[in-house]
A and B are shown apart, each in its own frame.
Chain A
């Protein structure tokens, strides 16, 4: 069945470092791909999404490119801040449901 695999965390970075969180997927058909962020004790917030191959999802600071050839959707940010510390979930939507990866905790230190 469909699945999402994320790199295990925690990912620990210093402020202004470059961020990459890897995400790969297995799916039939042509799924949509998402990145969500979860701050402590809160629900999920959509960061970005991409609906077809080669699409670049972006919210101006985070971006991810839907790569069908490598079945990947890696999240990137050029310069992280302490406020980016959170758990990041990669997700796949292929019917009516979202399938989540296990989440990657990011810790950014000053």
Chain B
């Protein structure tokens, strides 16, 4: 079945540094990828939607200069948290979808980011 690999699973960084999270579709071409943020014991909040080769579409209230999304190929999307601060600490999850599968969303295993 469809598999999405997300890396790293955990990362700790210092305030002011940048962190890159990768999301790869391993056995299918992901025409669309989604990035979510999840706070403890809460639901998933969609941050942005990215289509291969085009700029990401950010949800209202999400700073596009802070959360840089690149979807350069059909199997890879990256989320870079720039100038991270403790309030950016969260669980980030990506999801990938193939155009050939109706609502065939596959989720990565998530990245726990801790900014100290």
Interface residues of A (CB under 8 A from B): 32, 34, 36, 41-46, 49, 51, 89, 93, 96-98, 100-103, 105
Given contacts A46-B105, A93-B103, A96-B32, whether A41 and B112 have CB atoms under 8 Å apart is yes
A101 partner residues in chain B, CB cutoff 8 A: 43
Assembly CA distance A87 to B44 (angstroms): 12
A102 partner residues in chain B, CB cutoff 8 A: 42-43
Query: Do most interface residues of chain B lie in helix, strand or loop, or is the interface mixed?
Result: strand
Query: Do most interface residues of chain A lie in helix, strand or loop, or is the interface mixed?
Result: strand
The residue that B43 contacts in the complex, of A46, A51, A103, with Cβ under 8 A, is A103
Assembly CA distance A32 to B110 (angstroms): 24
Question: In the complex the two chains form, is A89's CB within 8 Å of B103's CB?
Answer: no
Question: Besides A43-B93, A45-B107, 8 other CB < 8 A contacts?
Answer: A32-B102, A43-B6, A43-B107, A44-B93, A49-B103, A51-B102, A93-B103, A96-B97
Question: In the complex the two chains form, is A42's CB within 8 Å of B32's CB?
Answer: no
Question: In the complex the two chains form, is B103's CB within 8 Å of A103's CB?
Answer: no
The minimal Cβ–Cβ distance linking A29 to chain B, given in whole angstroms, is: 14
A41 partner residues in chain B, CB cutoff 8 A: 110, 112
Q: How many residues of B contact A (CB 8 A)?
A: 22
Assembly CA distance A96 to B112 (angstroms): 26
B4 partner residues in chain A, CB cutoff 8 A: 43
Asked whether any CB of chain A lies closer than 8 Å to the CB of B29, the reply is: no
The residue that B110 contacts in the complex, of A36, A43, A46, with Cβ under 8 A, is A43
Asked whether any CB of chain A lies closer than 8 Å to the CB of B78, the reply is: no
B46 partner residues in chain A, CB cutoff 8 A: 97-98
The minimal Cβ–Cβ distance linking B68 to chain A, given in whole angstroms, is: 20
